Structure 1
Amino acid sequence: MRFLTVLLFVVTGTAMAASAPVTHDFTLDNGLRVLVREDHRAPVAVQMVWYKAGSYDEAPGQTGIAHVLEHMMFKGTENFTAGDFSKLVRRFGGSDNAFTSYDYTAYFQKFEVSRLPLMLEIEADRMANLVIDEEEFARELKVVLEERRQRTDDNPGALAWEKFAAITRPGSGYSSPIIGWPTELNQLTVNHARDWYQRYYTPSNATLIIAGNVTLDQVRPLVEKFYGRIPDRAKAPDRPQPRLASPAGERRLTLRLPVQVPSLYMSWNVPTLATHPDDFYALTMLSAVFDGGMSARLETNLVRGSELAAGAGAGYGGISRADGLFTVTATPKDGVTLAKLESAVQQQLDRLRQNPPSDEEMRRVRAGVLSSQVYGRDSLFGQAMELGQLVTLGVDWRLSDQFIERLNKVTPEDVQRAAAQWLVNERLAVAHVLPEEAK
């Protein structure tokens, strides 16, 4: 009965892929790329603007400027004073926010669809007319420094991860934290923010996503009206093509911090969807084999099935401009050393390198991955996120419609090969995080 349930889910998922929602893709004369995703289930919509500007793009000595500029985008334009933007969105029943990543910065609003003209107008306004006031910048920089103190400096677990992340992808923009290093944040000036805005916040360096109860005929004239009149201030900065770096060699880090319990971090530099599409799907399945619910291998063999780990998990970040990361984290049970726990993780990998997963395990794992994908696309925001990520990273957004089909083609031997080819020591970074010794 379980086999039939999983089989029916996979077949249904494939049918869903065949009836993908309608998506329109066009570019304005000023270089702004626009994607319109029609979803007529409810009278609501989402607007997202994605800029090809993240912490990866920051100049040496200016870490954190991408995130600081994100804060400044809410501080007023030639037409709005500080704080008015979000107040206006909320006044008409909407919500808004923004986020900065290594590879991009994005701004969004969720709203009742009749408010689309207003949302387009005010978002276009801050693309064209942001005012970066020196006093406002100084105040917001203090806010960011306090945010860093609360989230990282005073959080031993987050501080450990930040230090570990610095060795996972060395020599790249991924080795610095998105929020920035404290010494460099303190040296940022209002001119750094103004330069970042002028260089990157220009139509040809942005993608506009509209998802919801809309049509192309309805949206296109409004986009032309509000965004089409924005001049392209500068040529969009060239971005290197996505590439997988050469193996950096095994890297190890031992940290003593005021944590309550020891932790093990292991990350391998692996391909992404942009560099090795076939490996992306195999590594996605491999991640779920390791950590795809209570029946997954780490939970079964290290947590519930042994006296080694109090908790363990795995994840694969395969959507990025450079190396992706395949990561395993674990916390040992009392009396178990991190070295012993690390050896146990390697033993689980060795088993997978030597013997592929069974067909039954693949069916179970695939059903879990597909269900997560389907549920993620159930929301307008999830759809807009997926489109924005792919386009901003230089990946054809149509690949999202192929996910289910491509995942169904992954064989047990593909998963075995991915483990043997990519999860090797020359691509591995390890951190042992230990409680501080008593003083």
Structure 2
Amino acid sequence: MALSKSSIQETVLENGLKVLTLERHNIPIVCSMIWYKVGSVNERKGETGLSHFLEHMMFKGTDRYQKGEIDLRTLVHGGHNNAFTSHDYTAYFFNFASDRWEVALEIEANRMRNCTFDPEEFELERRVVLEEMKRNLDSPWGWLEMETEAMMFLLHPYHHPVIGWQEDLEQVPREAVVQYYHTYYLPNNATLVIVGDFETGKTLEKIRELFAPIPPGPPPPSITSQEPKQKGERRFKVIQETNLSRLEMGYPVSRINHPDTYALDVIDTLLSSGKSSRLYQRLVEKEKLVNFVHTSNDPRKYGGVFFIYTELRPGKSLGKVEKILGEELERLKQEPLSDEELQRAKNIIAADFTFDQETTYELANALGRYETLHSYEYLATYLENIEKLSKEDILKVAHQYFVDENKTVGWSVPEKPERRTSVLYSSPSVPVGGIASYRQGNRGRGARQRGSPAEGEPGRGGPSSVRQVVTEVEPKKWVLENGLTVLFLENRSHPVVSIQAYVDAGQKYEPEDKAGLAYLVGALLDEGTQRRSGLEIAQTMDFIGGNLGTSSTGVSAQVLSKDAHIAFDIVSDLLKDAAFEEEEIAKERSKQLALIKSEQDDPNAVAYNAFCELVYGSHPYHRPKKGYTKTVKAICRPDILAHYRTYYVPNNTLLAVVGDLSEAEVHDLVEKYFSDWPKRPLPEVKPLKAERLTGPKVKYVPKAKEQLHIYLGHLGIPRDNPDYYALLVMDHILGTGPGFTDRISRKLRDEQGLAYTVYANITRSATEEPGIFSAYIGTSPENKDKAIEGFLREIRQIQKEPVSEEELENAKNYLTGSYVFKFETSAQLTGYLISVEKYHLGFDYLRRYPELVRRVSGEEVQQVAQKYLDPVNYALVMVGKIKP
């Protein structure tokens, strides 16, 4: 669905601020974003990371808003806020219900020129940024991504990681950030984007009132440096303490306003989008060399990059994988695409373009990004330009850019270094003393970095936005003769249909000695049925631009509404007639074993799995969903067939459908594709036992990582616990509030600078079975004692003293006012319908929810904290490079 230029209004204030407005009245939400034309590309050597550091400081106080007040006002008004920095821009956004969104304009107008940069806050935030850097580098991809880009751009400032180099961040003075702010944060260097349920005329009046008085400044310095043409292949090797090898390749390509960008997007799509894509078929399916392969065309303002990344299976050759990647790129240059393959790529791009328009945030993000890099009008003609592309265009562009002497290759090799990660370089183009001196950093990769919203906050009018959604939500429910429960919601806002089939078949039903069975069955669902091969399934869904997902609990699909019948056919086929051929079982088992190894390279995942082992004891949830190497190797075809035939039956399935269809159409489709699914009796299930710890348990897993990853907690509650809503309010006061409004985030991150990521909650993991109460932090090893004591202190505090009326009201306002954000997309709505039915909440839950939250008292919060939190008998897991 193309985005009409006429639907977007452009206004430029006298001070140079550009304003883009787009009204959408299908749901009461407004997203406001302000984009500054400044990113790491504007930084000089020795002063890297200023853009990202400044982004952090924009939340730390102005002449009007004290530290924490921006997050607090977001909380009180029921919204979300966050920000992100990339090479070419820095962006800030707020999502609010449409009856209180203008507070976002007040905040943005004030902090454009009035941030205070308190010296103490500056030093605290320096610690936080350094912890963020360490977190990034603890990812198995961190070093590889940073070094690839640094080697690709030797002179141009794209060389610098967005987060900056460690030595620069450790010594950058406050004055440098302040000067940077005054140079670039100007109305004539910014674009304000408003998308959602508002009136343009009134909004522009408010914008003029708030922003027009801000004076423009001199034009910021322009970027004059140019990267010289690469004259030879560049490569390096990262030696890390990991289990698997990884590879990243980069080719310099055109800037965003170049016509070749469209062909590069198509190449990106046909190489790695979907299971029928060329690289997936060659490297994952045929050669069985890698766990995944991904490509990304990243067009930027001053020159783009085409990335290829892949993670190898154990024992596979990096050289062989790189050779095959080269062969596939050469094939692009020598062989014209088939008509079907070219159209498939175009269809995927067009469908994704439509899916992204379901949310106000994605629309605002696209408008702001393209206006900042080139022009928002790019979006209005994007699909038209994609559709014009010919096979000859693809050949020409592939020939121009995928040249061996232009590529940069990075290998990550799983060896155990004596001390720390090391990087070895081999490139005639690298100046002596250049790359070898580079240190830690993180790349915010333009097109891929979207800045996940920090959770927001509601105002006293909170329930009104929920009621407004309720009037739109009229779900229907019916049950087929075979026991299949169907849930349907008509949603005509976009030509999209989402389907979710939830099957109660998860890990709690697998034997202990076959752990990972449910995961393997889910992974095999789309690898072939009695009527279709796995490739035919992938080709069918990819050709219509649809998304198909499988898991241990069923199947989901998202398609354009014109293709709904195809999605129903595919989903029903997977649920009724999956084939589980021996060849496919062997392939998926091998992949699952490799993914288990891959997970062990992520210290957070290692910590979480170890934490569950301690907390759950003998309960099935103590096991990782993928199982263990030994148990997965033991799974055979009879085990898979028995699990599938036992649990994948209509009387054990909920089918939710949301989208651009009528009730009659869905009735017909369900009857056609699901009525012949035979009902079978379900086995009697004994209640599972999960018991609380009766003493502390501690586990330390040594890993040579930058941070210590800490989990502290114990058994939680099931979703049907009558105290759920009191615990939900408690969570948002204690450790899961938006921004840094909760106690743990405020104390451990905002006031002490111990971490970038820190949280605690008990309700988020609650399902039919008890979840967990978990407090997590990733911090430098020397902060271990402060972090653990910080968790325990806040737990004791909320048990000992009643929460304040202000904290209580703020949490309830947030929970009621922000609820509207759960209902923007068709996929969100299918998930909502499944949850309502699964947990027996009733279709009036949306109407009842505000009152369920509102009636929670401060006394109840204290009581449930005393009842369900235990600062004595807890599990403590630490993964890192120091011993406790």
Q: TM-score, normalised by structure 1?
A: 0.91
2:18/2:191 contact within 8 Å kept: yes
1:321 aligns with 2:305: no
Q: What secondary structure sits across from 2:171 in the alignment?
A: coil
1:206 aligns with 2:190: yes
1:39/1:213 contact within 8 Å kept: yes
Q: More displaced, 412-421 or 77-86?
A: 412-421
1:141 aligns with 2:126: yes
1:253/1:431 contact within 8 Å kept: yes
Q: What secondary structure sits across from 2:410 in the alignment?
A: strand
Deviation at 1:215, TM superposition (A): 3.0
1:160/1:257 contact within 8 Å kept: no
**Counterpart-to-counterpart distance in 1, 2:225 and 2:417:** 46
Q: How does 1:114-263 map to 2 (within 5 A)?
A: 114-152=99-137, 154-232=138-216, 234-240=217-223, 246-263=229-246
Which of the residues 280, 293, 297 maps onto 1:299? 280
What's the counterpart of residue 371 of structure 1? 351
2:245/2:313 contact within 8 Å kept: no
1:271/1:324 contact within 8 Å kept: yes
Unmatched 5+ stretches in structure 1:
1-12
1:28 aligns with 2:8: no
Give the 3 Å change call, closer, same or farther, for CA 401–168 of structure 1 in structure 2.
same
1:410 aligns with 2:389: yes
Which of the residues 361, 372, 384 maps onto 1:392? 372
Q: How does 1:93-104 map to 2 (within 5 A)?
A: 93-104=78-89
Q: More displaced, 420-429 or 244-253?
A: 244-253
Deviation at 1:376, TM superposition (A): 1.3
Deviation at 1:244, TM superposition (A): 8.1
What's the counterpart of residue 69 of structure 1? 54
1:354 aligns with 2:334: yes
Deviation at 1:240, TM superposition (A): 3.9
Q: Which structure is larger by alpha-carbon Rg, 1 or 2? A: 2
1:242/1:321 contact within 8 Å kept: no
What's the counterpart of residue 8 of structure 1? none
What's the counterpart of residue 76 of structure 2? 91
The sequence identity of aligned pairs, in percent, is 33
**Counterpart-to-counterpart distance in 2, 1:36 and 1:314:** 33
Deviation at 1:116, TM superposition (A): 3.4
What's the counterpart of residue 266 of structure 2? 285
Give the 3 Å change call, closer, same or farther, for CA 357–246 of structure 1 in structure 2.
same
Deviation at 1:384, TM superposition (A): 1.0
Give the 3 Å change call, closer, same or farther, for CA 406–130 of structure 1 in structure 2.
same
Which of the residues 424, 431, 434 maps onto 2:403? 424
1:312 aligns with 2:293: yes
Deviation at 1:432, TM superposition (A): 1.6
1:266 aligns with 2:249: yes
**Counterpart-to-counterpart distance in 1, 2:273 and 2:130:** 37
Give the 3 Å change call, closer, same or farther, for CA 373–172 of structure 1 in structure 2.
same
**Counterpart-to-counterpart distance in 1, 2:313 and 2:358:** 38
**Counterpart-to-counterpart distance in 2, 1:172 and 1:183:** 19
What's the counterpart of residue 337 of structure 1? 317
2:70/2:107 contact within 8 Å kept: yes
**Counterpart-to-counterpart distance in 2, 1:242 and 1:173:** 8
Aligned residue pairs: how many?
418
1:66/1:105 contact within 8 Å kept: yes
What's the counterpart of residue 414 of structure 2? 435
Q: Deviations over 1:269-326 (max 9, x none)?
A: 011322x22x1111111111111100001111121012433322212112x1122111
What's the counterpart of residue 41 of structure 2? 56
Deviation at 1:139, TM superposition (A): 0.9
**Counterpart-to-counterpart distance in 2, 1:292 and 1:51:** 31
Q: Deviations over 1:132-172 (max 9, x none)?
A: 111111111111111111222x3342122212221122211
Deviation at 1:55, TM superposition (A): 1.1
Whose relative contact order is higher, 1 or 2, with alpha carbons under 8 Å and at least 6 apart?
1
Q: How does 1:10-25 map to 2 (within 5 A)?
A: 13=1, 16-17=2-3, 19=4, 22-25=7-10
**Counterpart-to-counterpart distance in 2, 1:195 and 1:349:** 46
Q: What secondary structure sits across from 1:82 in the alignment?
A: coil
Deviation at 1:93, TM superposition (A): 1.0
**Counterpart-to-counterpart distance in 1, 2:333 and 2:219:** 44
Deviation at 1:238, TM superposition (A): 3.8
1:157/1:259 contact within 8 Å kept: no
Unmatched 5+ stretches in structure 2:
419-884
1:63/1:176 contact within 8 Å kept: yes
Structure 1 letter corresponding to 2:47: Q
**Counterpart-to-counterpart distance in 2, 1:376 and 1:50:** 19
Structure 2 letter corresponding to 1:362: L
Structure 2 letter corresponding to 1:338: L
Give the 3 Å change call, closer, same or farther, for CA 335–194 of structure 1 in structure 2.
closer
**Counterpart-to-counterpart distance in 2, 1:32 and 1:306:** 54
Deviation at 1:361, TM superposition (A): 1.0
Structure 2 letter corresponding to 1:346: G
Structure 1 letter corresponding to 2:72: K
Give the 3 Å change call, closer, same or farther, for CA 409–225 of structure 1 in structure 2.
same
Give the 3 Å change call, closer, same or farther, for CA 332–129 of structure 1 in structure 2.
closer
Q: Deviations over 1:22-56 (max 9, x none)?
A: 11112111111111112222222111111111111
